[in-house]
Amino acid sequence: MRACRRLPVPHTPVWFMRQAGRSLPEYLRVREGVPMLESCTRPDMIVEITMQPVRRYAVDAAIFFSDIMVPLKAIGVDLDIKPGVGPVIADPIRDAAGLDALRPLEPDDVPYVTEAVAGLVGELGGTPLIGFAGGPFTLASYLIEGGPSKNHERTKAMMYGEPELWSTLMERLSDLTIEFLKLQVGAGARAVQLFDSWVGAVAAQDYRASVLPHTRRIFEAVEPLGVPRIHFGVGTGELLGPMGEAGADVVGVDWRVPLDEAVSRVEPGKALQGNLDPAILFAPWETVEQRARDVLARGRTAEGHIFNLGHGVLPSTNPDVLARLADLVHEASAERTA
């Protein structure tokens, strides 16, 4: 929490995106036979999965176990998360009539979220819980394309060719995201992260015109809640400047841009988060340690730094390496502040 606010810290804090799941054998056992979206609606399972990495690693925060599609499913959008594929939308939104499927999110739509957050706050003690939601561009892309997309061609066609329809869609998704984040914070989440995973597919000028106003509105709506706000996307090296302008307290950086370079791209007054390449964890430990120390060194050029990977933990990652990495981050950064 201090690093998010760019205050002095005894050591660099660390957590890992997708630490709550995927690579942990205990996670796989709990999830066996339970579809992804169902697991996100069972408070006992949410609590257990969120806590698993906190028990195993010396991480400084827990990330709420959920999925960016949960609020869409909760308001009645016909979708499923298919193993090996990702989110699949039964009726993609391609015209104004399709917007009728997007009603406002009510607290009663997601009682399992508030129940799970409250349960986690009790178990976590002093360890903060990070709530999260999907960013508007990423949600829009899934809704328009009908599923994952490499090129986002239908999404960009709407953004370029039907700006009024695009703006209305983004406004509704922003409203949904604002409410989802507010519910988590109201239940006890102490920070939030907005994952606009695929926004790196957009050119900087189009981001400023068609995405930034909506993202800024989300962060402005969350600001009165008084919790740190983190913003992250993949492949967003060319967008780090405008992403910083969106209003988050912390800008997440993927592994493609060194942190000391990111410092020059993001406006002053922001902390940075990142950014070890998740694939490096498959290299020999000597390489992992060398690269992690390099990330820490570059992170010291920022006003505040939270160590993380440059994207989520890969499914076949060895949990023992993550445990060792978390310890290294604490030890190496404490040495510098001693």
Question: Is 298 one of the catalytic residues?
Answer: no
Question: Phi/psi at 305 (nearest 5 deg)?
Answer: -140, 130
Question: Is 142 one of the catalytic residues?
Answer: yes
- CA torsion angle for 188, 189, 191, 192 (degrees, to 10)? -130
60 contact partners, CB below 8 Å, separation of at least 6:
13, 14, 15, 127, 128
Q: Peptide bond before 275: cis, by omega within 30 degrees of 0?
A: yes
Question: Is 249 one of the catalytic residues?
Answer: no
**Rounded Cα distance, 25 and 19, in Å:** 12
**Rounded Cα distance, 45 and 25, in Å:** 15
The tokens describing 46, both together, are 């949410």
Q: Which of 2, 31, 42, 216 is catalytic?
A: 31
**Rounded Cα distance, 251 and 270, in Å:** 7
CA-CA distances (angstroms) from residue 269 to 4, 25, 227, 230, 231? Answer: 11, 40, 16, 13, 14
135 contact partners, CB below 8 Å, separation of at least 6:
177, 194, 195, 196, 197, 199, 215, 218, 231, 233
Q: Which of 142, 249, 298, 324 is catalytic?
A: 142
Question: Is 22 one of the catalytic residues?
Answer: yes
For the beta sheet containing 250-252, the strands, ordered from the edge strand earlier in sequence to the opposite edge, are 62-63, 129-134, 191-195, 229-232, 250-252, 271-276, 305-309
Q: Which of 42, 67, 293, 294 is catalytic?
A: 67
Residue that the structure tokens 């709990």 belong to: 30
Is the separation of the CB atoms in 199 and 239 below 8 Å? yes
Q: Which of 6, 18, 217, 324 is catalytic?
A: 18
* Residue 9, beta-bridge partner list: none
Residues acting as catalytic residues: 18, 22, 31, 67, 142
